[in-house]
Structure 1
Amino acid sequence: MTGGTVLLALHYQNEVLHPDGRIRLGVAEGSDRRGAVIAAAERLLAGARRAGVPIVHVRIAFPAGHAGVRTNAPIFRNVVAAGAMEEGSWGVGWHAGLEPLAGEAVVTHNRVNAFFDSPLESVLRDLGATRLVMAGVATNSVVEHSARHGADMGYEVVVAADACSAARQDVHDAALFNIALIGDVATVDSLFPPEAA
């Protein structure tokens, strides 16, 4: 792993990963892929920590009662209608096993692109980031939008595909196809090889 690499762990939150979550954009209800994505995310975080790669955990959260949330797009209208992702709720909490450790950065945002109107750019600058390893939920939403933005900012972008998910496989695959135009698509184990047994 080169110096300047930072891992962006995007939306590993209860509302999008837990079976009781209300947001189905990243993992379809009853999906048999949920466990594999969570396991890959756990390996990704563990691998980055072993390699000494800084991790920035990115969460989405809205004010209580969704006060001031801009509902110009269907995705935000749906979140408000579901009463989801309110600050302080179970849904915005980290999925078990994917929580930040002490000293790891946490950034909160409230649009699709993790960079938009958030402190993410400043946090990455402070970390000396030049290369972003990214993964999260959903592939076609926060991951793709943020990867595009990061590439436009001049970062080298790599997406750990198996630690990402979309509600449908074809949508996940299409997002990765698009991401491959502006960055690299890899697997968790190729980025952070497992420790020898």
Structure 2
Amino acid sequence: MDAVIALHYQNDVLHPDGKIRVGIAADSPLRAGVIAAAEQLLKQAREHGLPIVHVRVAFRPDYADLLANAPIFRNVAAIGAVAEGSWGAGFYDSLAPLDGDAREFVVTHKRINGFYESSLETVLRAVGARRLVVAGVATHSVVESTVRHAVDMGYEVTVAADACTAGVPAAHAAALESMRLIARVCDVESVWPA
């Protein structure tokens, strides 16, 4: 069975008023296209009756649970981003999980890799997933790290490239090229052939 992993479609990451710019600049002309592709991915997954795991990053408001061993984590605390309970930690409206849908799950993590110290693996095993479709923000960070871990765990992975982005287009392109060695990389329209 396939399952979709939707990574960091959160206000602080994707919204123009968000605080984190690793994935997309506040004034990026790419935002609308990435959001449209992600909306289409979730729509198609729902039409196919597939499980969707919405993975979010969030920390306590005092950041006591944030291990600040890397610049990206120190910056999150410095700018007050993705604090649990804040608007920024919430899902971008059109990409949020559907309330009451038993096929949609929310997993919270605190590192770059979506699997690390989260319940992601448990959820995927519970739904019987063997093949994963992964998308999110940022391509060269959480997406690539999660894809590599999934492949090492034995999953077949497809990356929905147009539903991913990075703040620097060259980083997005390089990450996609690197992932082609271990995963199928295509646009949303090609994920599930008609």
* Superposed pair shares fold, TM > 0.5: yes
Identify the TM-score tier after normalising by the shorter chain.
over 0.9
1:76 pairs with 2:73: yes
Distance in structure 2 (CA, Å) of the matches to 1:57 and 1:37: 16
Segment drifting more, 131-140 vs 61-70: 61-70
Structure 2: distance between partners of 1:23 and 1:192: 31
> Which residue matches 1:95?
92
Aligned residues: percent identity?
A: 58
What amino acid does structure 1 have at the position aligned with 2:36? Answer: A
Question: Is the 8 Å Cα contact of residues 158 and 191 (structure 2) preserved in structure 1?
Answer: no
**Residue by residue, what CA displacement relative to the aligned partner does 1:85-109 show, whole Å, maximum 9, x if unpaired?**
1000000111111110122111000
Q: 1:85 aligns with which of 82, 102, 106?
A: 82
Report deviation, 1:53: 1.3
1:29: Cα distance to partner? Answer: 2.3
What is the SS of the residue equivalent to 2:94?
coil
Q: CA deviation at 1:69?
A: 1.1
Query: Pairwise mapping of residues 1-197 of structure 1 onto structure 2 (< 5 A)?
Result: 4-101=1-98, 102=100, 103=102, 104-192=104-192
2:96 partner amino acid: E
Question: Are the equivalent residues in 1 in contact too, given 2:61–2:83 (CA < 8 A)?
Answer: yes
For the aligned residue pairs, the C-alpha RMSD in angstroms reads: 1.0
Runs of 4+ in 1 over 4 A off after TM superposition: none
Give the Cα separation in 2 of the matches to 1:180 and 1:192: 18
Counterparts of 2:65 and 2:187 in 1: how far apart (Å)?
Answer: 38
Mark the runs of 5 or more structure 2 residues left unpaired by the alignment.
none
Alpha-carbon distance between aligned partners in 1 of 2:75 and 2:177, rounded to the nearest angstrom: 26
Look up the SS of the partner of 1:107 in the other structure. Answer: strand
* Partner secondary structure for residue 33 of structure 2: helix
Q: Residues 22 and 166 of structure 2 are in contact (CA less than 8 Å); yes or no, is this contact kept in structure 1?
A: yes
> Would the alpha carbon gap of residues 44 and 189 (structure 1) be closer, same or farther in structure 2, given more than 3 Å must change?
same
Matched position secondary structure for 1:43? helix
Deviates more, 1:64-73 or 1:159-168: 64-73
In 2: Cα distance, 1:154 partner to 1:46 partner:
26
